[in-house]
């Protein structure tokens, strides 16, 4: 006699058990498959499917709600994301208010400071996710998802963003000078800076298309409309009527002006809330705010790309999504021994009883107009 010869009841129980196991496997299979399916640069699409299934949806809902209340949040989030990833990778270092090393953080740089828009949106998403899935979703992933959702809210077709980034524990304002593009740069220097981050000249032109939404403060381009050169008060590569309009909107800056009171002008007046190719059409019409935008239409190496995008919105939108995916994989921290999942995006997690050094810099540091002009128009000495 066989020891486990199934009786009628036993065989029914066995087949029920097998059915249960099978349905469990089937229920889990699609999710597991998604998690394992797409791995780009170590990042996994659907990374939170098992650990926090609502994570991406929560970020999307928060971004949509915030953008519905204030359209300027969309460009703001895309810019924060780019500034974070370009300096020391996508590690949410831009969100830190203080660091264990006591360095003045990236956030305090004049390239960031009061010009960052949308920081609160990341806080709202993080607080919601910490309540749902504590210590699970990193600030850097939230920022990468939020930038995508912001682009989608501005009319871009959606693109996939992998997850699995961990948050950095360092942030230094001094990492920016010499490593970061400023409005006064032209194609050769911009190309060099982008190449140093593994981004091509085409990526430079494509990603600059983010300037299809949002705007710039007058002091970022005042050098083009006042005292441009010894021979020309206004940048001759600007459409004269456009330059005249800008001069009406933006008075000549004075060294003791408060930069925060400077007016913000939309990059692309015609479709300022839509992430589309009108920005490139405007470049060809000599209507751009920043030298760094204008140079893309002037330089023979980049002009053909500008012309192509100006004619083909679908191509620009597709390439923009792809370039954002490339940015989202810059120097990501992936291993468990790298970085951490911050509980609060503003500060590095502290161990019990641990104290960080007292922060000694004046908070917030003052950025007088002259300092802003030096940085934005001329760049630092190293540039």
**In the set 63, 92, 152, 190, which binds ligand HEM (CB under 6 A)?**
190
Q: Which residues between 297 and 336 bind ligand HEM (CB under 6 A)?
A: none
**In the set 90, 216, 238, 306, which binds ligand HEM (CB under 6 A)?**
216
**In the set 164, 214, 259, 379, which binds ligand HEM (CB under 6 A)?**
214
Does position 210 bind ligand HEM by CB under 6 A? yes
Question: What's the min distance (Å) between Cβ of 354 and ligand HEM?
Answer: 35
346 included as an active-site residue: no
Q: Which residues between 53 and 82 bind ligand HEM (CB under 6 A)?
A: 72, 75-76, 78-79, 82
Q: Which residues contact 245 (CB under 8 A, 6 or more apart)?
A: none
Q: Which one is catalytic: 83, 185, 211, 367?
A: 83
In angstroms, the Cα distances linking 107 to 68, 80, 97 are 26, 10, 7
Q: Where are the alpha helices (DSSP H) in the chain?
A: 8-37, 55-69, 73-86, 119-132, 139-153, 187-195, 201-208, 222-225, 240-249, 278-284, 291-298, 303-311, 313-327, 369-373
47 φ/ψ angles, rounded to the nearest 5 degrees: -55, -35
Q: Do 222 and 254 contact (CB within 8 A), yes or no?
A: no
Contact region with ligand HEM (CB under 6 A), list: 211-219, 231-239, 249-257, 364-372: 211-219
Question: What's the min distance (Å) between Cβ of 34 and ligand HEM?
Answer: 27
Question: What's the min distance (Å) between Cβ of 156 and ligand HEM?
Answer: 11
Residue 341 burial class via C-beta count within 10 angstroms: exposed 0-12, middle 13-18, buried 19 and up: middle
Q: Which residues contact 68 (CB under 8 A, 6 or more apart)?
A: none
Residues that bind ligand HEM (CB under 6 A): 72, 75-76, 78-79, 82, 115, 117, 181-183, 185, 190, 204, 207-208, 210-211, 213-217, 220, 290, 292, 376
Active site residues: 83
């Amino acid at each position: 006699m066989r020891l486990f010869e199934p009786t009628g009841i036993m065989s029914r129980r066995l087949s029920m058990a097998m059915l249960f196991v099978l349905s469990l496997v089937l229920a889990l299979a699609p999710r597991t498959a998604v998690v394992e399916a797409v791995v780009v640069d170590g990042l996994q699409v659907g990374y939170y499917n098992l650990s926090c299934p609502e994570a991406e949806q929560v970020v999307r809902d928060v971004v949509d709600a915030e953008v519905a209340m204030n359209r300027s949040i969309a460009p703001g989030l895309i810019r924060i994301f780019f500034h974070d990833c370009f300096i020391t990778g996508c590690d949410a270092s831009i969100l830190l208010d203080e660091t264990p090393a006591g360095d003045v953080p990236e956030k305090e740089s004049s390239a960031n400071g009061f010009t960052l828009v949308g920081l609160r949106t990341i806080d709202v998403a993080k607080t919601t996710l910490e309540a749902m899935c504590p210590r699970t979703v990193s600030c850097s992933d939230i920022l990468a998802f939020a930038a995508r959702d912001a682009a989608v809210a501005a009319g871009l077709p959606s693109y996939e963003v992998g997850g699995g980034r961990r948050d950095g524990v360092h942030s230094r304002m001094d990492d920016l000078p010499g490593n970061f593009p400023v409005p006064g740069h032209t194609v050769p220097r911009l190309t060099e800076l982008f190449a140093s981050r593994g981004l091509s000249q085409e990526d430079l032109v494509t990603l600059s298309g983010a300037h299809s939404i949002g705007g710039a403060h007058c002091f970022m381009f005042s050098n083009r409309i006042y005292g441009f050169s010894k021979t020309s008060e206004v940048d001759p590569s600007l459409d004269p009527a456009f330059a005249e309009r800008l001069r009406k909107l933006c008075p000549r800056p004075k060294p003791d002006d408060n930069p925060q009171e400077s007016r913000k002008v939309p990059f692309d007046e015609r479709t300022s809330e839509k992430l589309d190719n009108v920005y490139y059409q405007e470049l060809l019409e000599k209507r751009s705010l920043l030298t760094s935008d204008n140079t893309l239409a002037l330089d023979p190496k980049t002009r053909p790309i500008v012309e192509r995008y100006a004619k083909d919105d679908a191509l620009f939108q597709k390439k923009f999504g792809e370039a954002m995916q490339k940015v989202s994989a810059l120097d990501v921290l992936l291993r468990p021994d790298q970085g951490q999942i911050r509980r609060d995006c503003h500060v590095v997690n502290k161990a019990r009883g641990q104290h960080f050094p007292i922060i000694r810099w004046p908070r917030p540091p003052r950025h007088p107009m002259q300092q802003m002009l030096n940085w934005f128009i001329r760049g630092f000495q190293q540039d």
